Structure 1
Amino acid sequence: MAALLFSMVPLFAATVWAQGLTLPAGASLQVSGGRLDLAGGDASIAGAFALGAGELRGVGAWRIAAGGSADFGSGIASLTGDWENRGIFTAGSSRVELRDGASPSSALLGTSQFANLSLVSLSGKRYRFESGFTQRVAAQLQIQGQGPAIQVDVTVPGNLAYLNLLAGGTQAIANVGVSDVYATGQHLAPMLTNQGGNGNAQGWFGNGVVVTPPTPVPALGWPMLLVLTGGMLWAAAQARRSGRHQGAEHAAW
Structure 2
Amino acid sequence: MTVVRAEHERGVTTLALDSPATRNALSAVLVGELADALTRCGKDTDVRAVVLTHTGNTFCAGADLRDPPPPEAFVGLLRRIVELRKPVVARVDGHVRAGGLGLLGACDIAVAGAAASFAFTEVRIGVAPAVISLPLLPRADPRALARYYLTGERFDAAEAVRTGLLTAAGDDADAVLAPVLDGLRRSAPEALAETKALLTAKVLQTFDRDAADLTALSARLFSSAQAREGMTAFLERRDPAWVV
- Give the TM-score taking structure 2 as reference length: 0.33
Higher helix residue share: 2
Higher relative contact order (CA 8 A, sep 6+): 2
Query: Which has the larger strand fraction?
Result: 1
TM-score calculated relative to the size of structure 1: 0.32
Larger Rg: 1
